[in-house]
């Protein structure tokens, strides 16, 4: 046994050296591997497509194999847009992996697994949440809603729900209250947009208004009040979304330029140059051009012998022409100060059977109500929505904006 020890020792020494050599070789091998790894990064530019890009980085057969794998994996090639980023890893000039970042959140991977190309995708998580926004008017509806962190788009949608009932130009007062039940869409927790307004409410000096969205089984969709009457009428209340009236309809008004007393057969809405002007109803353009004191004028003929005029425009909407059929709310021009005008404003006139009438006093028929046979279904929806809103208001801490 004694004689064995040195042999054992020498064997151990040999093994140790052998392991060291192996480790050294391994390390050296790894070092060499790292030097053979390469990564190419590319941002997609206008006019480029994935195939073109890949051909500049990997051999053509590899490109074909990658494209093939991606097609099988359902990659949306049409959505390959400028700004997307591509990362390609190679080892000893052999393709290993591709990472494609599409838009902000979608990611696609192609991996070379012994010349079998596997595809993996990380698609965005889209989530739609029902939200309730409520508050009081402190300055304007616009500012009161934006103060609560929402974007102008939601304000416009809210205004549109009540466009036939409330003129947010003239009817809003401090301490009026509102709520909106609406859907907000998030993509991987990032806000991407608003969906529908489900229910809306406005209470003020102008009255109490509720708008409930309802789509009947025939597919007719609209906003209705609690009685099931459509909020929509055949004409909008105002051709501008935000402004105020500086001069009302009058039989006798002292003209600021002509310095004479004469009737003012319309409303003057003060708004900045360039503010969009919309047709208040469906109709046909009967005049577009310069007309004396009106400056640039658009005249539209509507059903039921109504006619509207929009004067002092700075310019007309693109593609507007005499004879064109326009829809309610369609852009027709922009506020200006052309013709006999002291400053930027819209001169708005309404005529019935050829006689000028006061737009603020006109009674306009409503769109059809919920059909009788669907009334029970509508009532059920309306009741459950109101109940839901009430519960939300009761549980939510009071965050109503305080007036100054
Ligand atoms: Zn005027």
By residue range, what is the domain housing residue 218?
A: 127-232+368-395
Q: Is residue 217 part of a domain?
A: yes
The Å distance, Cα 310 to ligand 1 centre, comes to 9
Are 249 and 100 in a shared domain?
no
- Please tell me the total count of domains within the chain: 3
| 101, 122, 143 - which closes a domain | 122
Are 295 and 343 in a shared domain?
yes
Q: Is residue 201 part of a domain?
A: yes
Q: Is residue 282 part of a domain?
A: yes
The Å distance, Cα 259 to ligand 1 centre, comes to 14
> What's the chain's average pLDDT?
82
Q: Is residue 331 part of a domain?
A: yes
Instruction: Measure CA 81 to chain center.
Output: 20
pTM for this prediction? 0.52
The Å distance, Cα 321 to ligand 1 centre, comes to 23
Are 357 and 250 in a shared domain?
yes
| Confidence (pLDDT) at 34 | 54
The Å distance, Cα 371 to ligand 1 centre, comes to 41
Q: What's the CA angle centered on 344, arms 158 and 163, to 5 degrees?
A: 20
d(CA 213, CA 337): 39
The Å distance, Cα 169 to ligand 1 centre, comes to 16
The Å distance, Cα 65 to ligand 1 centre, comes to 70
Strand partners, 213: 223
The Å distance, Cα 164 to ligand 1 centre, comes to 22
Are 344 and 251 in a shared domain?
yes
Residue 78 token pair:
């049409």
Task: Concatenate the DSSP letters of all residues of 125-171 into one string.
Answer: -EEEEEEEEEEE-SS-HHHHHHTTT--HHHHHHHHHHTTTT--TTTS
The Å distance, Cα 268 to ligand 1 centre, comes to 5
Contacts (Cβ under 8 Å, ≥6 apart) of 275: 240, 242, 243, 334, 335, 346
pLDDT in tens, 61-99: 999 999 998 888 888 888 788 888 899 988 888 888 999
The Å distance, Cα 205 to ligand 1 centre, comes to 26
The Å distance, Cα 247 to ligand 1 centre, comes to 7
Q: Is residue 259 part of a domain?
A: yes
Are 248 and 355 in a shared domain?
yes
Q: CA-CA distances (angstroms) from residue 327 to 37, 161, 236, 313, 365?
A: 62, 16, 11, 19, 17
- CATH number reported for the structural domain that contains residue 103 in this entry: 3.10.450.350
Q: Is residue 286 part of a domain?
A: yes
The Å distance, Cα 126 to ligand 1 centre, comes to 49
The Å distance, Cα 344 to ligand 1 centre, comes to 11
Are 105 and 145 in a shared domain?
no
d(CA 107, CA 125): 12
| 57, 89, 122 - which closes a domain | 122
The Å distance, Cα 316 to ligand 1 centre, comes to 18
| 63, 96, 122 - which closes a domain | 122
The Å distance, Cα 267 to ligand 1 centre, comes to 6
| Confidence (pLDDT) at 295 | 96
- CATH number reported for the structural domain that contains residue 249 in this entry: 2.70.70.10
Helix (H, G, I), strand (E, B) or coil at 256: coil
Q: CA-CA distances (angstroms) from residue 192 to 79, 129, 189, 325?
A: 17, 12, 9, 34
Are 89 and 110 in a shared domain?
yes
The Å distance, Cα 262 to ligand 1 centre, comes to 11
The Å distance, Cα 286 to ligand 1 centre, comes to 20
The Å distance, Cα 235 to ligand 1 centre, comes to 20
Are 78 and 106 in a shared domain?
yes
Are 131 and 220 in a shared domain?
yes
Q: Is residue 341 part of a domain?
A: yes
Are 118 and 181 in a shared domain?
no
How many C-beta neighbours within 10 Å does residue 95 have?
A: 23
Are 107 and 136 in a shared domain?
no
Are 199 and 260 in a shared domain?
no
Low-confidence ranges of the chain (pLDDT < 50): 1-32, 398-404
The Å distance, Cα 140 to ligand 1 centre, comes to 24
Q: Is residue 3 part of a domain?
A: no
Q: CA-CA distances (angstroms) from residue 397 to 122, 134, 136, 220, 259?
A: 37, 12, 15, 37, 57
| Confidence (pLDDT) at 57 | 87
The Å distance, Cα 265 to ligand 1 centre, comes to 7
For residue 242, report the phi and psi dihedrals to the nearest 5 degrees. Answer: -135, 120
């Amino acid at each position: 046994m004694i004689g064995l020890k040195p042999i054992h020792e020498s064997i151990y020494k040999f093994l140790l050296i052998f392991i060291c050599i192996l480790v050294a070789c391994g390390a050296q091998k790894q070092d060499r591997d790292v030097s053979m790894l390469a990564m190419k990064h590319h941002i997609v530019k206008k006019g480029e497509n994935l195939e073109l890009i890949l051909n500049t980085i990997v051999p053509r057969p590899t490109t074909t194999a990658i494209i093939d794998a991606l097609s099988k994996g359902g990659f949306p090639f049409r959505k390959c847009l400028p700004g997307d980023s591509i990362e390609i890893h190679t080892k000893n000039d052999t393709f290993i992996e591709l990472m494609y970042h599409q838009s902000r959140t979608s990611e696609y991977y192609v991996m070379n697994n012994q010349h079998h190309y596997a595809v993996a995708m990380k698609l965005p998580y889209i989530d739609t949440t029902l939200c309730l926004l409520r508050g009081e008017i402190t300055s304007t509806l616009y500012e009161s809603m934006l103060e609560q962190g929402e974007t102008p788009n939601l304000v416009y949608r809210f205004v549109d729900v009540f466009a036939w009932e409330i003129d947010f130009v003239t009817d809003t007062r401090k301490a009026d209250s509102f709520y909106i039940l609406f859907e907000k869409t998030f993509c991987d927790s990032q806000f991407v947009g608003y969906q529908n307004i489900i229910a809306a409410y406005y209470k003020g000096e102008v009255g109490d208004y509720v708008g409930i969205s309802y789509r009947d089984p025939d597919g007719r969709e609209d906003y209705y009040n609690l009685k099931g009457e459509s909020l929509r009428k055949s004409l909008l209340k105002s051709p501008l979304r935000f402004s105020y009236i500086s001069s009302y309809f009058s039989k006798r008004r002292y003209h600021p330029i002509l310095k004479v007393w004469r009737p003012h057969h319309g409303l003057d809405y003060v708004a900045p140059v360039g503010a969009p002007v919309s047709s208040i109803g469906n109709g046909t353009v009967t005049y577009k051009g310069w007309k004396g004191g009106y400056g640039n004028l658009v005249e539209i003929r509507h059903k039921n012998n109504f006619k509207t005029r929009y004067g002092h425009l700075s310019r007309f909407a693109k593609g507007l022409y005499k004879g064109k059929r326009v829809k309610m709310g369609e852009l027709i021009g922009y506020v200006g100060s052309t013709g006999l005008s002291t400053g930027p404003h819209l001169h708005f006139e309404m005529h019935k059977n050829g006689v000028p009438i006061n737009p603020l006093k006109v009674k306009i028929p409503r769109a059809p109500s919920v059909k009788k046979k669907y009334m029970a279904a509508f009532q059920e929806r309306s009741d459950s929505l109101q109940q839901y809103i009430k519960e939300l208001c009761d549980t939510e801490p009071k965050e109503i904006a305080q007036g100054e």
